[in-house]
Amino acid sequence: MACLALLSAACGGSKDAASSPPAGAAAPDHLVGLHASDITKGFRERGLVCKDPVLEKDTWHYVCESSTPLVQYRGEFYAKVPGRVEYIRVLVAQSGTAKVELAAPLLAFLANLRYQDADPDKARAWVEQAISAPGQTAFGIARFKVSGDLTRLVFEVKAAGSEW
């Protein structure tokens, strides 16, 4: 499995590290450069089954899920149109002894997303730390938030200017 070494020695990145858009520039309301098909493809490659998107008011809601008796994966995201993804949320819930190896592939996929001013190396390092010390930070135009613990871990990515 192409699982990144999510538990390897985390170097760089900090719980509250942030980079922001240049002064005076309005933060975009979507993750510029990211398309809905990039996300659904990545979810499918990691074994999730994606449903057809549903229009909720003026925003498309995409849901991809998979589960076994020991782990449940749910990835969902919202986009005004397929090329304007605003918010992504992933939940990994585990029963029994929770293992980072079960959450790592999905978390690494999100950290590796390519959007304007993305920094996948720093994002992965931050996520590695956030698994045991949840928090939030920013990378380019995206805001990252990890909450919960390995039994119920939530990872959110949203555009800095989004209302989500």
What are 83-141's pLDDT values in tens digits? 999 999 999 999 999 999 999 999 999 999 999 999 999 999 999 999 999 999 999 99
- Which range among 3-12, 55-64, 93-102, 124-133 shows the weakest confidence by mean pLDDT? 3-12
DSSP string, 109-142: HHHT---TT--HHHHHHHHHHHHHS-EEEEETTE
Residue 106 has what DSSP assignment?
H
Distance between CA 127 and CA 124 in Å, rounded? Answer: 5
Residue 40 has pLDDT above 50, yes or no: yes
pTM of the model: 0.84
Amino acid 24: pLDDT:
57
Distance between CA 48 and CA 36 in Å, rounded? Answer: 15
